[in-house]
Chain A
Amino acid sequence: MKKNSDKEAFTFDKGIERLEQIINDLDQNHVQLEQALELFGEGIDLIKQCNGLLDSAKAKVKVLLENGKGELVVTDQD
């Protein structure tokens, strides 16, 4: 049921989770310099993406209905 939504779509949740992991990894003493810089770059990128999500346009309230044929119909509210 969640085959498509699971596939690599960037979500805020995943972004934050990865950020926490990166920060954790950077805390390890044995991290290699190249790896550290790579992680840092990835982290900065994630922050940009997360901020992007928060700055995106207002989400709308929608209504999910079933029409006469049993199909799902989404309509905007208001």
Chain B
Amino acid sequence: MTEKILTVSEINREINDALKKHNGLWNCWVTGEISNFKDHIPSGHWYFTLKDKEAGIKTVMFKTRNLTAGFQPQNGMKVLIRGSIRLYEKDGSVQLYAEEICPSGLGALYLAFEQLKSRLAAEGLFAAEKKKPIPRFPSRVAIVTSSTGAALKDILHIARRRNPLVSLIIIPSAVQGEAAPGEIVRAIQRANHYGEIDLLIVGRGGGSLEELWAFNTEEVARAIAASSIPVVSAVGHEVDYTIADFVADLRAPTPSAAAELVIPVLNELKDGIRYYEEKLTQRIQNVLRTKRHQVEELMSNSALARPGWRVEQSRQNLDYLSTRLVERMTGFLTEKNDILRLLSAKIDLLSPLNILGRGYSLAYDTEGKLIKTVRQAAPGDALSVRLSDGTLICEVTDTERFQTSSDSNVKRGLP
């Protein structure tokens, strides 16, 4: 095979491609000691050489990455770095580009912590819906911790002070060292087996990451998750986060804080009951007032309010009817009266007396007989002549007889 001649750029590109293909180099964890540390100003990037006894590798950690490192590296410090191996093509040097950095020693533990944490999180062990509610008023609280530790003393002291009525059950367990995880697991199981426990505090006082390590083990995490009693984790100081904290139903920042969080203050409970008593009394009074009001309203609205109401109502009805009766009767009579008046007027028109009013008169003889013909009277007879307003006493001086009806025409022609 003929040798191909490459340019520097080409060979560098080849090297870089080869690095990229190697998965273990593209994303890897490297441990070593820092030397030649330079915090480059103004870029803020970190440059150093990571080395062990025999070898070294140039390392870069860009500002965007090192901002979250949480500590300042120093020469001689052992660290664990996650990053990728890439070629810096400008000078052909292979470098470690750091993504994450943490002090070593702790490094291995840190790595294990992160891995376990993401594995358990993926399994859903930390899910909010898995958290059991913490009883508000636990009467029996069990404490899984070292029987000789400061944590227990703190918890007992605070619990007594807050509420001497809460039973405390100590379940002794080693909390550091080889045996600790197993003992903690058994203590949690023992509490669940015992049964009459409302709440479980699992924890210990502050210590180094190694000392707290039992609370970062999978077996302890799984025991906490499996507990049917709600678990409060209380490990170390406020800044210490352990796997136990994530899986517990409640994380207390410290053992003392755990006691403060879960043990209700007796006096506050008593106040609480007084409060409920007041509320209860107030509510029943409200109910009674409402009911009484309803009754009053009913009474004022109905016949119940005035027993005589129905009678009065009837009386009013009666009054109305009788008034109408009188009115109707009067109307009836008035009507009849009018008819009567009309008729009597008609009769009046027919009355002879009325005719007299128009100038006619009636003549009577002395016996009172109506004179209808001249033949009934003779000269010298006394007649009484009735006019409309009186009577004339007259004497007949003569009689003139008209022609009979047959000679009425003659008579007419007479004047």
A contacts, CB < 8 Å to B: 1-2, 4-5, 11-13, 16, 19-20, 22-23, 26-27, 29, 31, 33, 36-37, 40, 43-44, 47, 50-51, 53-54, 56, 58-66, 72, 74, 77
B325 at the interface (CB under 8 A from A): no
Contact A56 B165 (CB under 8 A): yes
| B287 adjacent to A61 (CB under 8 Å) | no
Q: Which residues of B contact A64 (CB under 8 A)?
A: 142, 169-171, 190-191, 194
Q: Is the CB of A26 within 8 A of B286?
A: yes
Name A24's closest neighbour in chain B (CB-CB).
B283
Query: When chains A and B are docked, how far (Å) is the Cα of A33 from the Cα of B272?
Result: 26
Give the CA-CA distance A77 to B152 in the complex, in Å.
13
Complex interface: chain A residues within 8 A of B253 (CB): none
Complex Cα distance, B274 from A47, in Å, reads: 8
Stretch at the interface among B39-47, B132-140, B203-211, B296-304: B132-140
**Does B283 lie within 8 Å of A23, measured CB to CB?**
yes
For the complex, give the distance between the alpha carbons of A64 and B269 in Å: 27
A4-B195, A63-B147 known; A19+B280 contact, CB < 8 A: yes
| A75 and chain B: residue at smallest CB distance | B170
Partner of A26, one of B168, B186, B273, B283: B283
Q: Given known contacts A12-B269, A26-B284, A37-B284, what 8 new A-B pairs fall within 8 Å (CB)?
A: A1-B192, A1-B193, A16-B276, A19-B280, A33-B287, A47-B276, A47-B280, A64-B169
In the complex, B196 has a CB within 8 A of chain A: yes
Cα distance, A44 to B276, chains bound together (Å): 9
User: How many pairs of A and B residues are in contact by the CB < 8 Å rule?
Assistant: 112
CB–CB B228/A16 < 8 A: no
Contact assessment for B170 and A33 in the assembled complex, using a CB-CB cutoff below 8 Å: no
Residues of B with C-beta under 8 A to A51: 270, 273
In the bound assembly, the distance between CA atoms of A16 and B139 in angstroms comes to 13
Smallest CB–CB gap between A35 and chain B, Å? 9
List, in ascending order, chain B residues with CB within 8 A of A31's CB: 287
What separation, in Å, do the CA atoms of A64 and B274 have in the docked complex?
35
> Are B137's CB and A13's CB within 8 A?
yes
Pull 17 A–B residue pairs with CB atoms less than 8 Å apart, ordered by A.
A1-B193, A2-B195, A5-B196, A12-B269, A23-B280, A29-B290, A36-B291, A44-B277, A51-B270, A53-B165, A58-B164, A58-B165, A59-B139, A59-B167, A61-B156, A62-B170, A64-B142
Asked whether, in the complex, the Cβ of B266 is within 8 Å of the Cβ of A54, the reply is: yes
Taking the closest CB of chain A, its distance from the CB of B329, in whole angstroms, is 56
Rounded to whole Å, the gap between the CB of A56 and the closest CB of chain B is 7
Instruction: Collect the chain A residues with CB atoms within 8 Å of residue B287's CB.
Output: 26, 31, 33, 36, 40
B283 touches A54 (CB 8 A): no
Shortest CB-to-CB span from A47 to chain B, Å, is: 5
Q: Are A1 and B195 in contact (CB under 8 A)?
A: yes
Contacts of A29 in B (CB 8 A): 290
Query: CA–CA, A13 to B269, complex, Å?
Result: 11
Min CB gap A71→B, angstroms: 10
